Structure 1
Amino acid sequence: MRRVTRTFAVAALATALAVVAGCSSDEPEETNNAASNGETVKVTYLTSFGNFGRDAYGWVALEKGFFREAGFDVEIQKGAGTGGNITSIVSGKADYTPIDLTGGLLTFGKGTKDFTAVAAIQQRTMAAIASTSDKNIKTPKDLEGKTLADTPGSVVRNLFPTYAKLANIDYTKVKWQNGEAATLIQTLANGQVDGIGQFVVGRPTIAAVTKKEPTFLPYSDYLTDLYGNVLITSTKNAKEKPEEVKRFTQALIKGLEYSLANPAEAAQILKAKDPTANPQAAQAELELMGSFVRSAGSGEKIGTIDTARVAKSIAILQGAGQLTAPIKPEEIISVDLLPKV
């Protein structure tokens, strides 16, 4: 009789624990290891572009243990912009990275299709042309006859013809030269170019490096429906390891939310990981980025992507002649893996 009673008690306890676990959340558990045997999964994550404040959330997720809690051993490397990051994902050199969604669409349209978006980082594009007040670039028309610099795969550079068409300027009168992520702002500071491709949140960093008043021409003035950065992985990874992808996404977004809520701490974490980072500028970038990550008034959860909006972006690019082949949003976005509203 004692053995039966004990067996019943153990079974009842197991059932109770199962019920509690099942009712706790509809989302994947954040603290479960990604590997079923308890070992961590090694992955490589690229920042979007160098190590600026806008990318501090990846380092925060690492330092705060969010990746480890989700079962990942993450190596973070500096990203080289949308084009270079996509190449690293497709070639298998990296597992996850943020890219600008519009840049991703342009790359996809040219035939590189072995990547997929699994979450939004920014709900609005932050792409812009940045300069300093002494260059007198106040309107898009002022760009004609000027020399700009950016990395070859940058979304700012690749989207420029569409921006120029909508802003009614002749993009053939604007000269572009190649630059590197790590030295791009210094190129502007040295007076080697009139402007650079940059995100609007880069204002504090540009001010700190150039010692001048930054000026910006945001692409969002003319391209209102475009998303900013999205998290991507390989199509193969998304198909074969969907739950693992969800857990990684959840951990990264947790780092993003923490960074926006604690920008000063996030900036110091970035500085500890990269001594060349400017913590004051990094903090200011994160403070500016908050309004781009949270879609104002929509009530949407951080990370969500609206395929209807993506369809509008595709239509804009097609209308400008930068996309010739038809693309459906679901071809470049893994809808089933997106954070749920």
Structure 2
Amino acid sequence: MSRLTRTVAAATTAAALMLVGACSGSDSTDDKGGDSGALEQVTYLTSFGNFGRDSYAWVAKEKGFFRDAGFDVDIKAGKGTGAVIQTVSGGKAHFGPIDLTGGLLQFGNGEAKDFVVVAAIQQRTMAGIATVEGTNITTPKDLEGKKIADAPASVVRNLFPTYAKMAGVDASKVTWVNGAPQDLMGTLAAGTVDGIGQFVVGQPTIEAVAKKKAIMLPYSEYMQDLYGNVLITSTTIAKEQPDMVKRFRDALLKGLDYALANPQEAAELLKKNVDSTNVDAARSELELMAGYVRSSNSGAQLGTVDSARVAQSIAILQGAGALKQTLDPDEIIDFSLTPKA
């Protein structure tokens, strides 16, 4: 790939954004961003490993949506909400999806800063606890006395105290152990833990790995107003390159739309890039995810974020004692960069 035809003029900005493409797009989100053939180098993180639920980024790359928008995108496996926030806000990646509730918790409790939301991926949270038959877990209360594995930065793990309070679970009676994203399902299948933190659309993949029926405990049963994953970038990129953000946002959402409409092809494209992919499970994940991406109660454009719903999510977290300080939606979401309803 050729280098960008324009670079950041200020040396301080360039140092802070080593990986940020300095070429700013025009006012139109259809602009290719630079001279013909000159693509901006962008690093994108998936939310959590490389499962079917994240295949839309690979679709956007393989179908040429990123290229048409002026980008050469390097897709790397993310390690959960906390890690994605840290990497993006630290300037080591340009974009990545995080669970909005996890972002609210980290931002509102002073654990993270310097990132903003620019689009929604899922209109409802997919966070939950997964187990399999034989663990004697069928209700949230059954989690007491059990061992659950997840990555320390996972939104499932960090949101659990709030979920436990709302679901009537004594969180102090649940033991959490650390687990890497790629190892969680194998750990559950081996029986070394009773459950794992997992997005509910992971059910087909769990069953493929564990060879047992999966049992899912979705957080959305008790926290229905919470968004799922959202796309973030750093505050610096959002401020200095808003048109580049819109071009990337639109290309990614185009990949999301295509993946949901063509789950089999999307799963095969993921397999092309990630050899360990189980195509059937990846396709099933996308089919399950469709209901979370588009709200069944509105015809809102893909990727939109509603300020009132975010405020309600904040109120839920504050009511559960999970937020240490008050938080306004505008502090974490740049509504000038989110798709319009």
Give me the whole-angstrom Cα distance separating, in 2, the residues matched to 1:309 and 1:340. Answer: 15
Give me the whole-angstrom Cα distance separating, in 2, the residues matched to 1:215 and 1:28. Answer: 48
Contact map agreement 1:44 1:75 (CA 8 A) in 2: yes
Shift of residue 44 of structure 1?
0.2
* 1:17 counterpart residue number: none
Larger radius of gyration: 1
Contact map agreement 1:98 1:231 (CA 8 A) in 2: yes
Counterpart AA for 2:226: L
- RMSD (Å), alpha carbons: 1.3
* 2:325 counterpart residue number: 325
* 1:261 counterpart residue number: 261
Contact map agreement 1:28 1:247 (CA 8 A) in 2: no
TM-score (norm 2): 0.91
Give me the whole-angstrom Cα distance separating, in 1, the residues matched to 2:333 and 2:231. Answer: 10
* 1:5 counterpart residue number: none
Partner of 2:233: helix, strand, or coil?
strand
Counterpart AA for 1:98: P
Partner of 1:106: helix, strand, or coil?
helix
Task: Pick closer, same or farther for the CA change 1:30–1:280 going to 2, 3 Å.
Answer: farther
* 2:48 counterpart residue number: 49
Aligned runs of 1:59-208 on 2, under 5 Å? 59-111=58-110, 112-208=112-208
* 1:3 counterpart residue number: none
Contact map agreement 1:57 1:259 (CA 8 A) in 2: yes
* 1:22 counterpart residue number: none
Number of aligned positions between the proteins:
315
| Residue deviations 1:206-225 (CA, integer Å, cap 9, x gap) | 00000000001110010010
Give me the whole-angstrom Cα distance separating, in 1, the residues matched to 2:34 and 2:194. Answer: 50
Tell whether 2:234 aligns with 1:234.
Answer: yes
Shift of residue 38 of structure 1?
5.9
Give me the whole-angstrom Cα distance separating, in 1, the residues matched to 2:268 and 2:36. Answer: 35
| Residue deviations 1:273-299 (CA, integer Å, cap 9, x gap) | 000010000000000000100000211
Counterpart AA for 1:77: K
Give me the whole-angstrom Cα distance separating, in 2, the residues matched to 1:286 and 1:74. Answer: 22
Give me the whole-angstrom Cα distance separating, in 2, the residues matched to 1:258 and 1:32. Answer: 21
* 2:19 counterpart residue number: none
Give me the whole-angstrom Cα distance separating, in 2, the residues matched to 1:66 and 1:259. Answer: 12
The unaligned stretches of length 5 or more in structure 1 are: 1-26
* 1:13 counterpart residue number: none
Counterpart AA for 2:231: L
Q: Which has the higher helix share?
A: 1
* 1:10 counterpart residue number: none
TM-score (norm 1): 0.91
Contact map agreement 1:31 1:71 (CA 8 A) in 2: no
Shift of residue 29 of structure 1?
5.0
The unaligned stretches of length 5 or more in structure 2 are: 1-25
Shift of residue 340 of structure 1?
1.4
Give me the whole-angstrom Cα distance separating, in 2, the residues matched to 1:188 and 1:37. Answer: 49
| Residue deviations 1:105-129 (CA, integer Å, cap 9, x gap) | 0110232110000000000000010
Counterpart AA for 1:169: V
